[in-house]
Amino acid sequence: MKYYTRRKKYKKFPNIIIVIITLLIIFNAIMLFLNKKLIPSLTKMSEIAVKSRVLNIINKNSIDIFSQEFNYEEMIKIQKDNDGNINLIQADTIKLNHLMSKLSMECNEELENLGDIKVNVPLGWFTDNSLYYSLGPKVPIRVENLGNINAFYESEFQSAGINQTRHIIYLNVEAKVRIILPTKTDELGISTRVPVSDTIIVGKTPNTAIDFNGNINGGILK
């Protein structure tokens, strides 16, 4: 009589569980590295690159528009009394707002077309080793414009000598963009102060704030 014996079937479930646990540990280690090293470094480098690009757009358009279309004598009207003292400084708000709106439209159009920007992330940011600062991958990021650019004028008066006043006009420009990274999004506010005009006015100016119809902040003689 022949006897047959059944082979023992080894359970494979424990091996599968070990593999799953190992993969989870590796995955968690990778995510920890990303959260601690890669993502903060990528975010910082992205903010630097995007801020530089946005500021270049604002400055370039500001120079193009105001250098061609801004004329101090046309924009700012100065009235003097019989003694030559300045008693009124008035801004042509319509012309000034036209230039400001034109700048906003030009900048918004370029910001809408920024699209993807490649950011070079040096390996030295991860390893804290300066030898690798020039090495590293280029990571593409997407930039989206959030709303229209906000701009407003600011006026400042400074004493420039006897009966001479230095009048400086600035344009403050604020933009807000969204940076879309491979694993997160980040909103970035960017502001800059663009000098529009720097003029010496001859005549005694009162040492008080001058209101420019609410469109240019009054400056105080310093």
Q: pLDDT, tens digit, for every residue of 52-80?
A: 999 999 999 999 999 899 988 888 888 87
Total number of domains in the chain: 1
Residue 7 inside a domain? The answer is no
- CA 169 distance to own-chain centroid: 22
Q: What percent of the chain clears pLDDT 70, i.e. is strictly above it?
A: 72
Instruction: Tell me the average pLDDT across 89-111.
Output: 89
Q: Which of 149, 156, 153 is closest to 175 using CA atoms?
A: 149
pLDDT at position 93 over 70: yes
Question: What is the pLDDT confidence band of residue 182, given thresholds at 50, 70 and 90?
Answer: confident
> What is the torsional sign of CA 153, 115, 110, 63?
positive
Q: pTM to 2 decimals?
A: 0.70
Assess contact for 62 and 194: CB atoms under 8 A. yes
In a domain, residue 131? The reply is: no
Mean pLDDT confidence for 26-35:
65
Task: Give domain status of residue 178, yes or no.
Answer: yes
120 within a domain of the structure (yes/no): no
Domain-embedded: residue 26: yes
Q: Considering the chain, what percentage of its residues have pLDDT values greater than 90?
A: 18
Pick the more confident residue, 104 or 32: 104
What is the average pLDDT across 82-109?
86
Distances (CA, A) of 184 to 179, 213, 216: 9, 44, 39
**H/E/C letters for each residue in 123-153?**
CHHHHCCHHHCCCCCEEEEEEEECCCCEEEE
Q: Per the domain annotation, does 57 fall within a domain?
A: yes
Q: Looking at residue 87, what is its pLDDT?
A: 76
Q: Where are the alpha helices (DSSP H) in the chain?
A: 13-33, 39-69, 72-75, 93-112, 124-127
pLDDT value at position 219? Answer: 41
In whole angstroms, give the CA distance from residue 116 to residue 56.
Answer: 16
- Domain coverage including residue 171: 13-114+143-217
Tokens of 199: 């003029």
